[in-house]
Amino acid sequence: MNEQLDNLLNDDTLTDITDRSLPDLRSARVAAAQAENDVSLVRRISQGRLDIVGHELQRRAGKAEGEADVPGLLFNLPEILSGDSSGGASGRAVVINEPGPIALSLVERLDKVVSPGDLSGVDKLDDGSLRMVFERIGDIEAELSGVRRQLHERIDAIQAEIGRRYRDGEVSIDSVLK
C-alpha cells in the first residue's frame, strides 16, 4: 500500500512496547496518529467518490431523482455528500490536517481508479464500467477502513502503555514539564 504505512502496521511494531523508551513511544504515537489522519482523509475522499458513482448507478436504475447529465448530478451533489456514508455518525467534528506523504500516495492510487476529472463524466460511462468503478472504489474504501482500525489499535496500545507508566509511577508528570 505504502512503505511507511506498512511499517506502522507491521505486527512486531507493538511486540517490544514495554521495553521502548517514553520518547520513542510518544514518537510512535505521533507517527501512527499522522498516518491515521492521512488514511481517514483519503477514506473520506473515496466515500465522496463512491457516493457520486453510486448516485449515478441509482439514477440509471430509476431510484434517484435528478437529471441524466452532469449538471443535474452537480446540482444534487450537496445532498449526495451530506448522507451518512460512514456507517454511523460519531458526532465528532472532523479535523483535517495537512495531508502527509501517506495521504498523497493513497490519493494517487485512488485517482488511478477514478480521478476527479473522471467523475465529471460518470454519465458517459457504460453500465459495466460504472459498476466496476463503484466496486473498485468500494474495495479501496473497505481496505482503508481496515487500515484505520489497525492504526487505532496501535494508537490505543501505545497510549495505554504510556498511561500505565504514569499510573504505576515508572515516570512522573514532572518529567514532562522539564
Residues 146-169 have pLDDT tens digits of 999 999 999 999 999 999 999 998
pLDDT bracket for residue 15 (50, 70, 90):
confident
Q: Where are the alpha helices (DSSP H) in 10-100?
A: 22-60, 70-82
With a cut of 50, say whether residue 88 has pLDDT above it.
Answer: no
Q: Collapse the DSSP code of 145 into the 3-class scheme (helix H, G, I; strand E, B; otherwise coil) and give the result.
A: helix
Query: Residue 130: CA atoms inside 13 Å, Cβ hemisphere, count?
Result: 20
Q: Is the pTM of this model over 0.85?
A: no
pLDDT-derived band at 90, boundaries 50, 70, 90: very low
Say whether 178 sits in a helix, a strand or coil.
coil
Q: How far apart are CA 55 and CA 73, in angstroms?
A: 8
For residue 87, the model assigns a pLDDT of 43
- Asked if residues 44 and 94 have their Cβ atoms less than 8 Å apart, the reply is yes
Q: Within 13 A of 47's CA, how many CA atoms are on the CB side? A: 17
Is the pLDDT reported for residue 177 higher than 80? no
Q: Residue length, the chain?
A: 178
pLDDT band at 35 (very low <50, low <70, confident <90, very high): very high
Q: Which residue has the cell 500500500?
A: 1
**Distance between CA atoms of residues 176 and 100, nearest Å:** 27
